[in-house]
Every structure is written in C-alpha cells, then in structure tokens.
Amino acid sequence: MTTTTTRPESDVDLFTDEVLSDPYSTLDRLREQAPAVYLSRLDMWLICRYEPARRVLGDWESFSSAQGVGMTEQFNHAWSAALICQDPPTQTEQRAIFTENLSTRALRPLQATIDVRAEELVDELVSRGRFDAVADLAHDLPINVIMDLIGWPPSRRERLIPMATAWFETIGPDNERNRSSWPVVGELFEYLNQAIDQDDLTPGSFGRHLLDVHRAGHLPREAAVGLLAGYVVAAFDTTINAIASAVWLFAREPEQWDALRAAPSLVASAFNEVIRVESPIQYFTRVATREVDVDGVTIPEGARVLISYGGANRDARHFAEPARFDIARNAVDHLAFSFGNHACAGQNLARLEGHAVLRALIPRVARFEFDGTPERALNNAGRGFAHLPVRVTPA
C-alpha cells in the first residue's frame, strides 16, 4: 500500500441546511476523493467508505470513544460518563446492565403487545385515510409502548421528543443548531436527575432496574444518568426517523410496496434496506489513539475521526447501485446500527418496532401517496422528517 504524501482535504461544510437536506451528492464526492478526507473547517477526518468505516468501528483500541463521540468539547465533556463515551472494560460492564432487558429472548414476550398496538393504530389511521406519518404513526410506539417499558411517568413524556432531537443536534459541530439546542439538553439533564431523585419510575421497568443497580452501589450516578439517557434519547429520533423514512420510501416507490405485500417474509430485509438507504443516525466520532494508515492515508495520533454511517451505507464498493431502494437486497451488514463494541444496544427493540409497524401496514394499506410536501427535520446527526402528510388507499 502506498502512502499518500499530500493530505486529502476539503473545506466543505457538511452541516449547512442545503447539505443536510441532501447529503448524498456531497458524501459521494468526498468518498471518491480518498479513503479518509481531512475536513479543514472541523479539524476532523471524514470516513464514508464502507470497509474503512467498518474497520474503524471494529477497532476501539486504535479509534477510541473515551474522548467522546460528539464533535465539540461541550458535548464530550457533558456526556463523559455515558455508555457511548466509554471504552472497554467500563463500556462492557455498563452495556451489560443496559442490555439485560434487550436481548431477543428478553424482548420476545413484548412482541404481542407491540403488534397489537401497531395494528390498532394502523386500523385507526387507515379509517381516517390521511395522516402525518411522523406525528400520527412514528411517534406512537416510542411514546406509548417504549416509555412504558422504561417506566417513564406519562405526565413527563411530552417534552421527551424535543429533548431527544436537541441531544442529536448537540452531537454536531459548533454551529447555530448545536448552540441553540443546549438549553433543551439542560432540561433533559434535569429530567434524568429528577427521575433518579424522585424514584417515580414504574416498579419492574427497565429504568427502575438501572436505579436499583445504582442504589446497590454498582453504578455511579453520572453513569446511571448516561444509561437512562440511552433509553429516553435513543428510543425517539432513531426509530421515529426509521418509520417515517419507510413510509417516505414506499410512497416514492410503490412497486417496492407491492413487492413487500406480495412477500411479507421480507419485512426484516425491508427494514434493513430502509435504514441502509436513509440511515436515521448519520454521524458519530472517534479519536485515533495512534497514527493509523487507512488504505494509504495517514491519520495522525489524536485526530478526531467522523464516521458517516449514511455515507458508508451508500458505498458502491460494497452495495451494488447503492442509491437504489431494493427491499429484497437483504442488507444485513449495513452500518446504520454501527458496528463493533458500540453497535446499537437497542437494535433488537428498534427492529421489533419497525417490523411491527410494517407488518401492521402490509394487509391494510394498498398504496401510500404524498398528501402535501414532506418536510425534512434537518438535524446535525439525525435524518428524518418533521412532517410527512400521506393519503392511503385501504387494501
């Protein structure tokens, strides 16, 4: 492998409204420029090719999360005790506590509840004929079923969606979206601390389990706040973006909806394809703990590396015709849930929700059509919609 002597560099701003609205042409260009590109505005190295992204995510000793996974000191300092900002062995220990209730086996008894809720909701929406796929469809399971599991009091659920959105904004660089989101993140901190102090999480819930482990002296308070945030933040924009993107893609490509209705066993493959094509979380970062050669480009020790999950998922070196939405592709190795020791700890739950919604829609909806213009929710780290008005033809 020859080492590049001139540093591949770009002064592009990935976080303007224009690029956030349609990031893929910019990411395609940067992906072709080099395996890793130095972004001079951010002082970070972007990786948006599939193989190098997967290698970086799989090598925590060379690419650490312990100096934070956001793009500013403020974020990395604020969440320094959180699971996502740890390396093993601390990360391994905290993650075991978090995922105890999230294995496929532990979640199996929940499937019926989630399925019934999704079916009742879809029945109601189909009888209305037109609805907003974000507020009316995608918000329902996270707010009503997932927060029950976590044990979050219903009276305090209303603010969680804007708080989660703000948290994802603050992963981004020091821009206006990031700065204006900190007051809401401050409210989130208060909320999480109140949950610990007031002890009002439902007995038997995931959240109460965390508090019990904390009270038994096995989890410091800051780590308990971080893990609780892992439930209440990660449970919202992620699955909400995924479900809304599914409806958006199927409204644009009705033949793919026909194909899924003809072969409902492709639900798992279809959900993977939705989050490959429209990755709900677009970026997190790592810090290089040593000088590393990435396919001929030298990343210096101490450099911050920006991983583009969405960019990697659209690398033609790995996925043929990557911009094509093809529910039969079976993209099991996409990076939308990341990879390696930090791979999404809630992915079984996310799949349970996504599959339940698709399974409820398949026998009830023959067609989705846009009922007005979809409005994107621009966010430094998330990709989804603010409003997605649709009309459905009942099956």
Interface residues with ligand HEM (CB under 6 A) are: 57, 65, 69, 83-84, 91, 95, 98, 230-231, 234-235, 238-239, 242, 275, 280-281, 284, 309, 336-338, 342, 344-346, 349-350
> Two tokens at 15?
């976080």
Give min distance, CB of 283 to ligand HEM, in A.
9
SS3 state of residue 391: strand
Least distance CB 118 / ligand HEM (angstroms): 15
Count the neighbouring beta carbons within 10 Å of the beta carbon of residue 156: 15
Amino acid (1-letter code) at residue 265: S
Query: Which DSSP symbol is given to 135?
Result: I
Strands 383-387 and 375-378: antiparallel
In the bound state with ligand HEM, the residue whose beta carbon lies nearer, of 384 and 389, is 384
CB of 215 to ligand HEM, least distance (A): 21
Instruction: Indicate the residue among 82 and 362 with the shorter CB distance to ligand HEM.
Output: 82
CB of 354 to ligand HEM, least distance (A): 6
Which of 236, 39, 352, 58 lies closest to 26, judged by CA? 39
Distance CA 185, CA 165 (A): 9
Of the pair 126, 274, the CB lying nearest ligand HEM is at 274
- Based on CB atoms, which residue is closest to ligand HEM, 336 or 377? 336
Q: Is 173 exposed, middle or buried (0-12, 13-18, 19+ CB in 10 A)?
A: buried
Q: Which residues pair with 322 in a beta bridge?
A: none
CB-nearest residue to ligand HEM: 346
What is the spatial distance between Cα 130 and Cα 268, in angstroms, rounded to a whole number? 26
Place of tokens 């019934």: 116
Q: Which is nearer to ligand HEM, 68 or 126 (CB)?
A: 68
Check: CB of residue 114 under 8 Å from CB of residue 140: no
Minimum Å gap between C-beta 100 and ligand HEM is 12
CB nearer ligand HEM, residue 44 or residue 126 = 44
Residues 6+ positions from 144 with CB-CB distance below 8 Å: 117
CA distance 245 to 385: 8
**Looking at beta carbons only, is 26 or 272 nearer to ligand HEM?**
272
**In this structure, are residues 259 and 266 in contact, taking their beta carbons and an 8 Å threshold?**
yes
> Smaller CB distance to ligand HEM: residue 345 or 362?
345
Concatenating the DSSP letter of every residue in 368-389 gives EEESS--EEEE-SSBEEEEE-E
Nearer of residues 84 and 210 to ligand HEM, judged by Cβ: 84
| Closest alpha carbon to 226 in 102, 350, 60, 94 | 94
Closest CB 328 distance from ligand HEM, rounded Å = 20
CA dist., res. 65 & res. 80, Å (int) = 10
| Kind plus residue range of the DSSP H or E element containing 298 | strand 297-299
Smaller CB separation from ligand HEM, 36 or 242: 242
User: Least CB distance from residue 366 to ligand HEM, whole Å?
Assistant: 26
DSSP H or E run through 39: strand 37-39
Q: Which helix (H) or strand (E) holds 284?
A: strand 283-288
Q: What minimum distance in Å lies between the beta carbon of 382 and ligand HEM?
A: 9
Find the shortest distance in angstroms from Cβ 290 to ligand HEM: 19
Q: How far is the CB of 248 from ligand HEM (least distance, A)?
A: 14
